[in-house]
A = this chain, B = another copy of it.
């Protein structure tokens, strides 16, 4: 099962000694977590995915198995930490994928010849898997993406440029995006996805990316500022043939207070 094929190398990179252990004793059987790690760069939403090396075609979401004495949420936190170095993430479960047809198998797993992987490992990984999806919002600049042994690379890829993803991972991404779109007024969008200081233009582009529609500049700016959750800083002297915009940062205390009740951005 390609999915499991991937996971095992995630583990190898960080804790190679695990390969000498019995998966059945270590992990909850048949259950995994997959993380849709979302960032914002070049005015686009991007997600962190891993490219297979070897002859297997396809990229994969960062994911992993659940330890027997580990909370489900903790497994997702661990995966995020291992792939990005991010410690105190915004991370939220959005759906569990349990259809039988999600694990379309190929024979890639059988071809694997890596020291330490036994037929027992292969068999364990070939069982049916149910996976819980988590979405994380991060500042790309604060991430330190770490590929695993199996992967040629780990990369931030724009949502509209996604390559082939293994298994049902593209479906999982779609569900994650529709989740944050739906929950946009209750998620810490700006504060997690933007750098410390930003312009209103950048914030608007972020919202437009998620909502997939243009917003009126004037109205957006006025409505945002009226929320009274920003600190306005000295002018930004950037290289543009136009009036320089203010830089803003979030007032964390006011922001969190407002987040509880939600705030809407329709226009």
Contact = CB atoms under 8 A, between A and B. Distances in A.
A70 B100 contact: yes
Given A30-B31, A93-B96, A128 B72 contact: no
Count this chain's copies in the assembly.
2
A73 B72 CA distance: 20
Contacts of A68: 128
A12 interface: no
Interface string A182-205: 000000000000000000000000
B128 A99 contact: no
Interface in A25-76: 28-31, 66, 68-73
B28 A100 contact: no
A30 B73 CA distance: 16
Contacts of A73: 98-99
B29 A98 contact: no
Interface residues of A, number: 21
A11 to B, nearest CB: 19
A130 interface: yes
Contacts of A71: 98-100
A8 to B, nearest CB: 20
Nearest to A66: B98
A21 to B, nearest CB: 18
Interface string A167-194: 0000000000000000000000000000
Interface of A: 28-31, 66, 68-73, 93, 95-100, 128, 130, 132
27 contacts: A28-B30, A28-B128, A28-B130, A29-B29, A29-B30, A30-B30, A30-B31, A31-B31, A31-B130, A66-B98, A66-B130, A68-B128, A69-B100, A71-B98, A71-B99, A71-B100, A72-B96, A72-B97, A72-B98, A72-B99, A72-B130, A73-B98, A93-B95, A93-B96, A96-B96, A96-B132, A98-B132
